[in-house]
Amino acid sequence: MTDARPPALLAVRALHRSGLEPASFEIAAGETVALLGPSGAGKTLLLRAIADLDPNLGEVFLAGDSRAAMAAPEWRRRVGYLPSEPGWWAERAGAHFADPGAARALLAPLWLPADILDKPVARLSTGERQRLALIRLLVNAPRVLLLDEPTASLDARATAAAEALLDDRRKAGAALLIVSHDEAQIRRVAGRRLLIDSGRVTEGAP
Amino acid sequence: MTLIPLDLVDLALAATLILLNAALSIWLRLGLARQILIAALRMGIQLWLLGLVLAYLFELTSPALTGAAALVMIGFAGFEVFSRQSRPIRGLWTYGLGTGTMLLAGGLVTVFALTALVAPAPWYDPRFALPLLGMVLGNTMTGIALGLDSLSGLAVRERAAIEARLCLGATRAAALRPVLRDAARTGMIPIVNSMAATGLVAIPGMMTGQILAGAAPMEAIKYQLLIMCLIAGGTSLGVFLSVVGMAAFLSDSRHRLRLDRLRPAKPAPDAPG
């Protein structure tokens, strides 16, 4: 092949599990790929399999390094997965950040109030929690971002802010795989599409 | 003062109280008369058989037979732990985990008491070994059953929170620590409560027995204290080992939460609908 595509940052080779047929694809550094498919097609299964959260077979490489040769916590710090419904383990929002200082710097760009880290998680809106979960992931500085409907419960202003923040990461060399049902958003952020249906992943038309 | 032996006439007179119980049930149409009589009959036969077995074991004082009886007791206790789980681990692992930790915790504490504290001769004298083990097991069993049941329930309920930490690069030990701590606390609370209430709410059964058998109250209390310490030690050791073991089953070497290793929840017996 004489493809001019840059070398892959994330390479997925015959990754499979029950509900997911062997999937192979690559995402380059500085590239955002949209993952599209109907509900129940296996989008979340695929993201979870890449993050190694469920038992799976096949190989995944980060900049040529095999996932199998890396401890799972190390892998997940570099290949960050944001679930569509993120979980919270402490009462206060700020307790979820190892470095609240780094988190604070990202509050204003996402239109979040400065005192939000002192509030109990239970008192936050769904949109506030979704943005905090995104910040929680970004302060880890992962090289690959696996995002499951990251702006589903955000208004237009917050969505634009989140997209801008994610685009900064892309320009800095991150690879992004983003699940979205918003066609306009996909056109705005993604350079390429992967389609998934009944657990089968195929390359979509640009 | 020594033990006042009871004869069959005494027991027959006591049994009239059960007949009174059954008569009341018939009179008030509680529909319990048959159950009361069957339960009383079972109690009589089971205790009579237990008496025969204990008399035989005490007579022989054989280490092998005493050990076998202890293993049977631990096996029953393990089954009891297993049957009290609303979401047991698939396969026989829950049974193995409950029985294994009880064998270790109950066995260790009982052997410690027999060799270093009570020290009968020989140390495995079944007259001391079996009642001590029975009391330790009864409480350790409750603690382990509560701890395991609580841990599996919490892992399912807190799945999103546990996986959120895993996603951020936490190890399985760090991600499971909060639920592990809550489950261990649930397993320990009964023994802590019972230590605090002992002597205020009720005179403990073993102490009552010793006093009826002619022991001086202060001697009976010393034994009761010893037993409570053994039970507390056995329970904490058993709860700790079992929840840590269960946490290992609920995760794997790739630091994933493995709820697929749990059987689907059994409906609670008293759940409506």
What pLDDT does B159 receive? 97
Interface of A with B in 114-153 (CB under 8 A): 133, 136-137, 140
Rounded (5°) CA angle A165-A171-A174: 85
Query: What is the spatial distance between Cα B55 and Cα A44, in angstroms, rounded to a whole number?
Result: 64
Cβ pairs bridging A and B (under 8 Å): 67
Tell me whether residue A66 is in a domain: yes
Domain ranges, residue A18: 8-87+144-203
Closest CA relative to residue A137, chosen from A166, A168, A180: A166
Nearest residue on chain B to A91, alpha-carbon basis: B161
A18 CA: distance to closest CA in chain B (Å):
13
CB spacing of B164 vs A77 below 8 angstroms: no
Whether the predicted pLDDT of B204 surpasses 90: no
Provide Rg for chain A, Cα atoms.
17
CB spacing of A88 vs B164 below 8 angstroms: yes
State pLDDT tens for residues A180-189: 999 999 999 9
CB spacing of A52 vs B256 below 8 angstroms: yes
Query: Which positions in chain B touch A133 (Cβ < 8 Å)?
Result: 164
Query: What is the spatial distance between Cα B126 and Cα B205, in angstroms, rounded to a whole number?
Result: 20
B220 CA: distance to closest CA in chain A (Å):
47
Tell me whether residue A111 is in a domain: no
What phi and psi, each to the nearest 5 degrees, are found at residue A108? -60, -45
Q: A17 — contact with chain B (CB < 8 Å)? A: no
Tell me whether residue A153 is in a domain: yes
Residue A67 belongs to a domain with what CATH number? 3.40.50.300
Q: B170 — contact with chain A (CB < 8 Å)? A: yes
Q: A182 — contact with chain B (CB < 8 Å)? A: no
What pLDDT does A1 receive? 45
The residues, any chain, with a CB within 8 Å of residue A159's CB and separated by 6 or more, are A151, A185
Tell me whether residue A48 is in a domain: yes
The residues, any chain, with a CB within 8 Å of residue A14's CB and separated by 6 or more, are A22, A23, A24, A57, A58, A59
Residue A92 pairs with which residues in a beta bridge? A120
Query: Which positions in chain A touch B158 (Cβ < 8 Å)?
Result: 87, 89
Nearest residue on chain B to A142, alpha-carbon basis: B168
What pLDDT does A5 receive? 58
State pLDDT tens for residues B144-176: 999 999 999 999 999 999 999 999 999 999 999
Query: Which positions in chain B touch A136 (Cβ < 8 Å)?
Result: 168
What pLDDT does A2 receive? 46
Tell me whether residue A107 is in a domain: no
State pLDDT tens for residues B58-116: 999 999 999 999 999 999 999 999 988 988 888 888 789 999 999 999 999 999 999 99
CB spacing of A73 vs B170 below 8 angstroms: yes
Query: Which positions in chain B touch A141 (Cβ < 8 Å)?
Result: none
Choose the closest CB to A53 out of B163, B170, B171.
B163
Query: Which positions in chain A touch B180 (Cβ < 8 Å)?
Result: none
Query: Which positions in chain A touch B160 (Cβ < 8 Å)?
Result: 83, 85-88
Q: How many domains does chain A have?
A: 1
A203 CA: distance to closest CA in chain B (Å):
27
Helix axes B217-249, B126-157, angle to 10 degrees: 40
Q: B261 — contact with chain A (CB < 8 Å)? A: no
Q: pTM of the full predicted structure?
A: 0.87
Tell me whether residue A176 is in a domain: yes
Q: A52 — contact with chain B (CB < 8 Å)? A: yes
A144 CA: distance to closest CA in chain B (Å):
13
Closest CA relative to residue B4, chosen from B212, B219, B220: B212
Burial (CB count <10 Å: 0-12, 13-18, 19+), residue B28: exposed
Mean pLDDT over B120-139 rounds to 94
The least confident of A184-198, B36-50, B106-120, B197-211 is: B197-211
Query: Which positions in chain B touch A53 (Cβ < 8 Å)?
Result: 163, 166-167, 256-257
Pair of tokens at residue B243: 């929840």
State pLDDT tens for residues B231-242: 999 999 999 999
Residue A171: count of CB within 10 angstroms of its CB: 9
What pLDDT does B95 receive? 87
Closest CA relative to residue A187, chosen from A155, A163, A203, A152: A163
What pLDDT does B273 receive? 37
Strand, coil or helix: what is A80?
strand
Choose the closest CB to A89 out of B161, B252, B260.
B161
Q: Identify whether the C-beta of residue B144 lies closer than 8 Å to the C-beta of residue B101.
A: yes
CB spacing of B254 vs A72 below 8 angstroms: yes
Nearest residue on chain B to A51, alpha-carbon basis: B167
**In the predicted model, what is the mean pLDDT of chain B?**
92
Tell me whether residue A41 is in a domain: yes
What pLDDT does B10 receive? 93
What pLDDT does B271 receive? 45
Whether the predicted pLDDT of A192 surpasses 90: yes
Q: B29 — contact with chain A (CB < 8 Å)? A: no
Nearest residue on chain B to A49, alpha-carbon basis: B256
Tell me whether residue A17 is in a domain: yes
Whether the predicted pLDDT of B199 surpasses 90: no
Query: Which positions in chain B touch A140 (Cβ < 8 Å)?
Result: 168-169
